[in-house]
A and B are shown apart, each in its own frame.
Chain A
Amino acid sequence: DSGVTQTPKHLITATGQRVTLRCSPRSGDLSVYWYQQSLDQGLQFLIQYYNGEERAKGNILERFSAQQFPDLHSELNLSSLELGDSALYFCASTPGVAGGVYNEQFFGPGTRLTVL
């Protein structure tokens, strides 16, 4: 157990719908990262938040958005869902000292999203 939690574990929805994925980082970690992993594909970085502020952005679609709340949990919102959005969505956390030495990213168990 990495200490990072994600809910829900599985999500099945229809095209055009909107869903919210939730991530709680390890206690004390300030940075949260979101990744998308499609079937048999690599890990695509979506977005990073550090202490409530967006810090880095990857190939995140405009239909997707995220935020990190004062209690440091994060939510990834996916709207106007398409079949191709079906994937495993992971979040990860690090202590994330800004500009400091980089530390290991601890991954959550993932949310498996199926769009029908």
Chain B
Amino acid sequence: GENVEQHPSTLSVQEGDSAVIKCTYSDSASNYFPWYKQELGKRPQLIIDIRSNVGEKKDQRIAVTLNKTAKHFSLHITETQPEDSAVYFCAAIKAAGNKLTFGGGTRVLVKP
């Protein structure tokens, strides 16, 4: 089955700096890659996603890049703010299989 590895497990950045989280996946058939943000005690919420037919997607301060050849994708957060502090999960899925496999999560702390 699919295996998703996520690094780093914790990330501490100064407010205003950039944060980068990287994920690798094992199943080359995976074609949808969402990123979820989870604040303490709350539900995961989708912040951005990318499909396999594009290499990069941006939404304001957040961007995701995908390298299908290398089977890895990354989340980039620019101009970090304290409210970006949370746990971020990457995931991968084959559309036909409909089974979402999550990475282990990255705890991001933005220091004011």
Contacts and interface: CB of A to CB of B under 8 A. Distances in A.
Main secondary structure of the interface of B (DSSP, over half): loop
A17 to B, nearest CB: 24
B95 A43 contact: no
A108 B49 CA distance: 19
A99 interface: yes
Contacts of A86: none
Q: Most chain-B Cβ atoms within 10 A of its Cβ — which of A58, A102, A105? A: A102
Contacts, number: 54
Contact of A58 (B98, B99, B103): B99
Contacts of A42: 89, 102-105
Given A42-B104, A42-B105, A102-B32, A90 B43 contact: yes
A62 interface: no
A109 B46 CA distance: 14
Given A42-B105, A45-B101, A109-B43, 16 more contacts: A31-B98, A33-B100, A42-B89, A43-B89, A45-B100, A48-B99, A55-B98, A94-B98, A98-B98, A101-B95, A102-B32, A102-B93, A102-B95, A104-B46, A107-B36, A107-B45
Nearest 5 interchain pairs by C-beta? A107-B43, A102-B95, A56-B99, A43-B102, A102-B32
Interface of A: 2, 31, 33, 41-43, 45, 48, 50, 55-56, 58, 90, 94, 96, 98-102, 104-105, 107-110
